[in-house]
């Protein structure tokens, strides 16, 4: 990832500390307006735009990826959990929650449907 920082001559740029942008036409994925993390009455503001970039060996990893070592740890933890079957488990859902995966937390937390008695 790369970041571009700007100081703007306005007291409020976006009204929130973090706004995510998902539109394909917008080249950045997020704008952070730092002043919203602290209280104050600044007359200017500073924003940081986050731009995606392809990861290469040697770059700092920002988000988790499904690499072999992570999957091995995940399977080891999952194998130690008691077996249970819910209606959700029976369904053909290989990408739960719109593609979002709970990564290594999945076997450690109750299934959301179980918490809601669905």
The pair phi, psi for residue 105, each rounded to 5°, is -75, -20
Looking at the structure, tell me whether residues 110 and 76 fall in a common domain: yes
Domain assignment present for residue 60? The answer is: no
Range of the domain at 73: 68-115
Q: Is 4 helix (H, G, I), strand (E, B) or coil?
A: strand
- Higher-pLDDT residue of 105 and 20 is 20
Q: Is 83 helix (H, G, I), strand (E, B) or coil?
A: coil
Q: How does 71-97 read in b/e, with b if 16+ C-beta sit within 10 Å? A: eeebeeeeeeeeeeeeeeeeeeeeeee
Domain assignment present for residue 61? The answer is: no
**What is the arithmetic mean of pLDDT over 88-98?**
50
Number of domains in the chain: 2
Q: Is 60 exceeded by the pLDDT of residue 103?
A: no
Backbone Cα Rg of the chain: 20
- Higher-pLDDT residue of 19 and 55 is 19
| Among 58-62, 95-99, 107-111, the least confident range | 95-99
* Sheet with 45-51: strands ordered across: 2-8, 45-51, 30-33, 18-20
pTM of the model: 0.52
């Amino acid at each position: 990832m790369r970041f571009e920082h700007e100081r703007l001559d306005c007291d409020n740029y976006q009204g929130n500390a973090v706004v995510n942008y998902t539109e394909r036409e917008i080249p950045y994925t997020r704008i952070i307006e730092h002043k919203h993390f602290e209280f104050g009455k600044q007359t200017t503001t500073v924003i940081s735009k986050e731009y995606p970039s392809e990861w290469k060996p040697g770059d700092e990893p920002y988000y988790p990826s499904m690499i072999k070592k992570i999957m091995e740890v995940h399977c080891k933890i999952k194998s130690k959990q008691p077996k249970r079957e819910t209606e959700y488990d029976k369904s053909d859902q290989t990408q739960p929650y719109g593609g979002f995966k709970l990564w290594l937390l999945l076997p450690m937390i109750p299934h959301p449907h179980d918490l809601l008695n669905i």
